[in-house]
Structure 1
Amino acid sequence: MTEEQPPRRIGSIQDRNAIVESALDKAIRRGDFENLPGLGKPLTGLHNSEDPDWWIKQKMEREELSGVAPAAFQLRKENAVLEDTLDAFSKEADVRDYLASFNARVREAVMDLREGPPVFTPPRKVDEEIIAWRQRREARHETQNPHRAPTAEQPPRRWWRRRRS
């Protein structure tokens, strides 16, 4: 079987084994299994734990992975920093898209009947969040640029007005 041919249908377990063996032989010839990290070292924790998921937990600690928690925990954490996340956006359309995505994930987690803690995170009201985002943005803009705000005594200067002498 050459690499240009489409894969053939697997009819029996012997066919599967032959395909797997062939793929492994090709990978060995290419050197895909040379210089792998941990080569020749025993697996740690193999016989020390009753937890069947010990290896994935160990991998997550070693790789410092996060964000692999039940949806209820992820959504609760995301909800806690949602205003800061929204404030990072500069366009209203981006805020609306993010809120739509957040609400879709909340609805999906509520409807998911698999195991896990219940979801108490409510969906956000998009229009109310947009109004709050605008207010925070305007307040931030005013504190960062106080000299730009026109006062009642001094109207803003227009660039098209010519000075008369």
Structure 2
Amino acid sequence: MRSAAPDPADTDAWHAYLAEGNAKQARKRVAADVLLRDPSGRVLVVNPTYKPGWDLPGGMAEANEPPKDAVHRELMEELGIGVPLLGLLVVDWVAPHGPWDDQLAFVFDGGTLEDEQTGRLRPHDDELSEIAFVTPAEASGRLRYHVRRRFEYALEALVGGRPLYLHDGVPAL
């Protein structure tokens, strides 16, 4: 049973009380990916070395890291590029599965890279074995099922001009 709330004027006691509540709150895993395109409309997919199948560029957020900052960090670490994010395309609540707790997965719009940028892109660390610009249909064929659904709805959100909220890859609103 939780103790009675202390007087907020007692800063130390109040922060201890809040910390106790915070420690009992759920922690969500957060993934943040980006949809990047080339001038011909192809999309960038990456082949991670640490899991099977192709993926969108991005990755997992670190503790207390905003999703948009996670995308920027991951792009710099894995591809050596920085791109301005043009907006949010998808937020997907992913239910617990296998050994994993639930997760929030974000997909941001990274816009269209110039031909000069796309021609120089290479994996910058050992987390990626290769990258490819492919048609959206080819990307759907390469991406794992749950990422594929999120990707396809990200394309829909891009055309529709508004972000989509998903539950396990299916629109929930």
Q: Shared fold (TM-score greater than 0.5)?
A: no
Q: If the length of structure 1 is used for normalisation, what is the TM-score? A: 0.23
Of Structure 1 and Structure 2, the greater helix share is in 1
Larger Rg, first or second structure (1 or 2): 1
User: Which structure carries more strand by proportion?
Assistant: 2
TM-score w.r.t. structure 2 length? 0.22
Q: Highest relative contact order (Cα 8 Å, sep 6+), 1 or 2?
A: 2
